[in-house]
Structure 1
Amino acid sequence: MSSTELPSVPAANVLPKVAAVRVAEGERLRSVGLPGVTLTVRSRPPAREGLPPAFYVHGLGGSSQNWSALMEQLEGDVDGEAVDLPGFGDSPPPDDGDYSLTAHARAVIRCLDASGRGPVHLFGNSLGGAVSTRVAAVRPDLVRTLTLVSPALPEIRVQRSAVPTGLLAVPGVTALFTRLTRQWTAEQRVRGVLQLCYGDPARVSPEGFGDAVQEMERRLQLPYFWDAMTRSARGLVNAYTLGGQHALWRQAERVLAPTFLVYGGRDQLVGHRMSERAVRAFRDSRLLSLPEAGHVAMMEYPDVVARAVRAFLAEAGDGRGDGGADALPAGSGS
């Protein structure tokens, strides 16, 4: 493994003529070279030495930036790092073009193994929640606790609002969508994403909206942007069809780590009703239900989620915060 600090502008031979990835104050990026894949890892210096390690995995179409707000909230509790999955954020595509769920999980495992930071407090949102579930099931030695925000686990009755995202997995649909939306501005695309992912898009500040537009403009210049989206969506759908020991719900049942589940009442991509099944599947679980939140509660309500995580970590015996009342027993809501 090789690890290097990233300059403010990506190397010319990686992302030519594409703007630099945004790095918030106090954050830093580094590039980690692993067999078959190069990953960008975002981190914040911990508030003090000796804090337990945490690792954050984003969802489909997202990046490590999705965790910036929560990472800042928890910098006094954990030593956090967030990864850009292959083909997302500032990570280039994998050498073999494999965007399956197993491949994403393998990239996370390789990164954790190479860093020597495990076991970690593992966080996952959406696609990253499914990836993290698989990691926790197959490599329990790497995970001390598992926190899942709207994890993309299989649903029999998919919400109608989630269908367009799933259709990305259908051959030809992405090319058609690209042609139909060719004239859409980055601002229009961001507004659509916020409408889909937030319970209340008005919670996004003008500055945050501007940053999102700039990031969308950057991503649309990447030649592999739609390929990474399409193949990752297809990989997730394919994972839903697997049976036996590879079935995601079966793997959820195998997770040994204490698990904290966060679901939004206004989530248009993962049905809130799935929280009940998740509580039953994960053997040692707690539930935080946020009625007003959408699909990315850690972005929409980072302070609430952070307080709940502190309480969860304290209960799990690895907390460094002052606790709180937001981490609820399995089957409860707020």
Structure 2
Amino acid sequence: MPPPWPGAPEDVGGTTLHVRRTPGADGVPAVYVHGLGGSSTNWTDLAALLAPVAWGAALDLPGFGYSEPAPGFDFGLASHADVVVRYLEESPGPVHLLGNSMGGAICLLVAARRPELVRTLTLISPAMPDRRPDPRRLSDPRMAFAYLPLVGAPVRRRLAALGPRERAAQVIKLCFADPARFPDGRLDELAAEHGARAGLAWAAPALARSTFGIFRAWSAVGPASLWAVAPTVSTPTLVVWGNHDRVISVRRAERTARVIPHARLLVLPRTGHVAQMERPNVVARAVLGMWEQVDAGNW
């Protein structure tokens, strides 16, 4: 089990992002974009498995991991996508772009807007509109209320009372089909990251505002809807979903793969919302298979 890959701040068009780099083969790189409440460490195991074929860069989005958001950043999906586009513009040619959850929706927007920057697209349980009134889909249902007037202050106090390991375990319970599969060492790493972020004044507001940014995107209609954006993606795409995903229902999987013109679908049994963490070996084989078929012109 490799430790998290080393990371450092990098300037991305005037925005500073914390980026973890995975050494690997020369050629087309892989760029990894995490989901809501996640960070670049969500890709440690998958990046290690893909490194013999592609060196990697896993981004901490603004307000997540160790990337401090710029003043005035609005945390909408489109704004996150702007940052990823600026990063890819500085990459050596088109990349293999992989995104999970919120990161999947962001990568979808990137591929639609700038297809010349993306060689292949892998979407793992992307945050396609899912309006089920189920607060359990948040890593902590109280987060949606933490920054509302009047009720927000006591909610924030109760959240602050949770220890880092409790928060980490709560996230894994939500995102894994079988939380017992999450190694203790990885839980220690996640708890340490939660503890470090607890001292960052911008961390909790960034999570809350990004949460509402997703909800705003889900309420969009017409050309702004993610369901309208998806058919404009011309990039070869692999859609991966866990059939025990409690965050974004697997019922969105078939439609997502159907509306993206060059997409194929892989649904994994006994798997939750973060398949790249829960079943990295299976996901790696599927991603490598796509890359090989795209290179051969067979996708």
Aligned to 2:127: 152
Residue 289 (str. 1) matches residue 267 (str. 2):
yes
Unpaired segments of 5 or more residues in structure 2?
none
Distance change (3 Å), C-alpha of 1:290 and 1:67: same
Aligned to 1:121: 96
Taking the aligned partners of 2:120 and 2:49, their CA distance within structure 1 comes to 18
> Is the contact between residue 236 and residue 263 of structure 2 (CA under 8 Å) also seen in structure 1?
yes
* Secondary structure in 1 matching 2:57: strand
Among 70, 75, 83, the alignment partner of 1:94 is 70
Among 195, 203, 209, the alignment partner of 2:181 is 203
Which deviates more from structure 2 when the two are superposed, residues 220-229 or residues 36-45? Answer: 36-45
Among 95, 107, 117, the alignment partner of 2:83 is 107
Taking the aligned partners of 2:48 and 2:121, their CA distance within structure 1 comes to 19
Distance change (3 Å), C-alpha of 1:200 and 1:76: same
* Secondary structure in 1 matching 2:103: helix
Identity of aligned residues (%): 40
Aligned to 1:60: 36
Aligned to 1:76: 52
> Is the contact between residue 159 and residue 269 of structure 1 (CA under 8 Å) also seen in structure 2?
no
Can you list the C-alpha shifts for 1:9-44, whole angstroms capped at 9, x where unaligned? xxxxxxxxxxxxxx937x332322234521111111
* Secondary structure in 2 matching 1:94: coil
Among 226, 229, 233, the alignment partner of 1:248 is 226
Taking the aligned partners of 1:304 and 1:158, their CA distance within structure 2 comes to 32
Post-superposition offset of 1:168: 3.8
Aligned to 1:8: none
Distance change (3 Å), C-alpha of 1:291 and 1:112: same
Which deviates more from structure 2 when the two are superposed, residues 92-101 or residues 197-206? Answer: 92-101
Aligned to 1:24: 3
Taking the aligned partners of 2:152 and 2:257, their CA distance within structure 1 comes to 34
> Is the contact between residue 158 and residue 271 of structure 1 (CA under 8 Å) also seen in structure 2?
no
Report which of the two has the higher share of helix. 2
Which amino acid is the alignment partner of residue 82 of structure 2? R
Which amino acid is the alignment partner of residue 114 of structure 2? R
RMSD: 2.1
Distance change (3 Å), C-alpha of 1:99 and 1:142: same
Post-superposition offset of 1:166: 7.2
- Report the TM-score, using the length of structure 2 for normalisation: 0.92
Taking the aligned partners of 1:133 and 1:298, their CA distance within structure 2 comes to 18
Query: How many residue pairs end up in the alignment?
Result: 294
Post-superposition offset of 1:239: 1.2
> Is the contact between residue 166 and residue 237 of structure 1 (CA under 8 Å) also seen in structure 2?
no
Taking the aligned partners of 1:318 and 1:217, their CA distance within structure 2 comes to 46
* Secondary structure in 2 matching 1:316: helix
